Amino acid sequence: MSRIMSVASLLAVLGLVASAAPGGPATTAPKPKPAGGMDAVKDCIAKTEFKVEKPAKARKVLLYDHCNGFNHGGGRDAARVAFPLLAEKTKAFEVVISNDLANFEADKLKEFDAVMFSNTTGELFTGKAFDQCEKKPANQDEAKALSEKYRANLVNFVKNGGGLWGNHAATDCSYSWKEWGEMMGGYFGGHPYSQIHVKIDDPGNPLIAVTNDKDFDIRDEIYIFADKGAKNVYSRDKVRVILSIDVPASKITKQAREDQDYALMWVKSYGSGRVYYCVFGHDQKMFAMPNVLQFYVASLQFACGDLKVDTTPKPLPATKPAEK
């Protein structure tokens, strides 16, 4: 009897036995599994209505996601699924996914309105990045020359009015390339937090209109930005912060920065170009959240030039010295 009961209990736990109909035998009725992984991403996009500005012209965006360092596989894969679907649904832009560095030839970059760096890590346009190219350099000297050329081409592209878009690990790369940190606005300093309360730093900003300027909670691998040494690039004197961590509401007791300033989303100008960065996107869960997806749509429209956003930096108010 105990053996029979143990098997029945196991089946019940697995959800394989439904309650018996009155007077009849038990029937097998497996419970449907909730959508997960990429199915959840697709389902969320299908069900979400996105607010879209009418593009001034047809827009084309390059999504580049090669990693020479740590591979955020879930976030990268989800982006490759999500952004073409967002493009198809909103008709706001076309997304070309390619890691061929030939796209960073100056003439080729002219075909794009913005370039996305989706969870890129390591030194950009170096090493194994050339393995993704149809035409590979003949030797190391040629590879070095191409790397320098592609970096210069990207800088000129942004300075001359192109869009630069980065999420999550886009700040965890090219520490030896000074212009990258200057363009993107900060360098990775760690990810000590996960569950946080997000505060609105720039009320009325169209990039976060979906929030109705209301704070919210989120769980992700939360990057903070270096505040010491050569990686100390981030400053509110240089970027316009839109979202940041509400430290007291997040119950953070161990601080990772002396100023306790943990930006999560910002914009900036770089020459005539538009730059956007957001911390969110470690794995596929972020791409199955309607509000985050709306952030992505709006931010790409900003990067392409169709959504007007004030990029004027907003420095933190000066703090009064402690009374002695």
Residue 319 domain flag: no
Which pLDDT does position 71 carry in this prediction?
A: 59
Strands 188-200 and 94-97: unpaired
**Over its length of 324 residues, how does the chain's per-residue pLDDT go in tens digits?**
433 344 333 333 333 333 333 333 333 333 333 445 799 999 999 999 999 999 999 999 999 998 887 556 588 899 999 999 999 999 999 999 999 999 999 999 999 999 999 989 899 999 998 998 999 999 999 999 999 999 999 999 999 999 999 998 899 999 999 999 999 999 987 787 778 999 999 999 999 999 999 999 999 888 888 888 889 999 999 999 999 999 999 998 888 888 889 999 999 999 999 999 999 988 888 999 999 999 999 999 999 999 999 999 999 877 654 444
Residue 316 domain flag: no
Phi, psi of 18 (to 5 degrees): -95, 165
Q: 156 and 240 share a domain?
A: yes
Which pLDDT does position 301 carry in this prediction?
A: 98
Residue 219 domain flag: yes
Q: 61 and 14 share a domain?
A: no
Strands 60-64 and 114-118: parallel
Q: 266: domain range? A: 37-304
Strands 188-200 and 216-225: antiparallel
Which pLDDT does position 72 carry in this prediction?
A: 61
SS3 17: coil
Residue 323 domain flag: no
Q: Which pair of structure tokens corresponds to residue 207?
A: 């990039």
Q: 184 and 111 share a domain?
A: yes
Q: In what order do the strands lie in the sheet with 188-200?
A: 94-97, 60-64, 114-118, 163-167, 273-278, 263-270, 240-245, 188-200, 216-225
Residue 197 pairs with which residues in a beta bridge? 217
Residue 182 domain flag: yes
Q: 60 and 182 share a domain?
A: yes
Q: 23 and 43 share a domain?
A: no
Which pLDDT does position 4 carry in this prediction?
A: 38
| Alpha-carbon distances, residue 272 vs 110, 111, 138, 305 (angstroms) | 15, 17, 35, 11
Instruction: Return the number of other C-beta atoms located less than 10 Å from residue 149's C-beta.
Output: 15
Which pLDDT does position 210 carry in this prediction?
A: 97
Q: Which pair of structure tokens corresponds to residue 301?
A: 């429209």
Integer Cα distance of 178 and 288 in angstroms: 34
Domain count, the chain: 2
Q: 51 and 128 share a domain?
A: yes
Q: 153 and 127 share a domain?
A: yes
| Alpha-carbon distances, residue 2 vs 6, 9, 171, 187, 293 (angstroms) | 6, 10, 59, 61, 51
Packing angle of the helix pair 290-304, 37-47 (nearest 10 deg)? 70
Which pLDDT does position 197 carry in this prediction?
A: 94
Which pLDDT does position 226 carry in this prediction?
A: 83
Q: Which CATH number do you get for residue 243?
A: 3.40.50.880
Phi, psi of 96 (to 5 degrees): -105, 120
Residue 243 domain flag: yes
Residue 166 pairs with which residues in a beta bridge? 117, 277
Residue 310 domain flag: no
Q: 16 and 79 share a domain?
A: no
Do the Cβ atoms of 163 and 273 come closer than 8 Å? yes
Residue 313 domain flag: no
Q: 227 and 132 share a domain?
A: yes
- Strand boundaries in 226-288, DSSP class E: 240-245, 263-270, 273-278
Length of the chain as a residue count: 324
